[in-house]
Amino acid sequence: EDKVVQSPLSLVVHEGDTVTLNCSYEVTNFRSLLWYKQEKKAPTFLFMLTSSGIEKKSGRLSSILDKKELFSILNITATQTGDSAVYLCAVDYGGSQGNLIFGKGTKLSVKP
């Protein structure tokens, strides 16, 4: 059975901390892994990863994929209260049942 597992499910940190969010997967026909940020309603796209070992970076956020060990991490440095959100990991496996399978998300709370 295809699945995507995120950890931790929730995390509380203080402003300025660095956090690492994890996403492991077991899918057939892997095509890509995507990270989304969901603050209140609509998830917004962060990164798409298709190749192992190539870091994607956007400001204080970065992500990398390990296709051998079947996981990805999302790093956020110098966290701010505006980083508080649910971070969703999804895997595009190109299956007949639609394209994306989502993890349950990691709820990040950044305290002032």
**What does the binding site for other proteins look like in residue numbers (CB under 8 A)?**
9, 31-32, 34, 36, 41-45, 48, 88, 90, 92, 94, 96-105
Smaller CB distance to other proteins: residue 19 or 47? 47
**What are the DSSP calls for 15-47, one per residue?**
TT--EEEEEEEE-SS--EEEEEEESSSS-EEEE
The tokens describing 26, both together, are: 């077991």
If we measure between CA atoms, which residue out of 96, 99, 49, 45 comes closest to residue 71?
A: 49
Least Å distance, CB 88 to other proteins, is 7
Smaller CB distance to other proteins: residue 17 or 107? 107
Smaller CB distance to other proteins: residue 89 or 110? 89
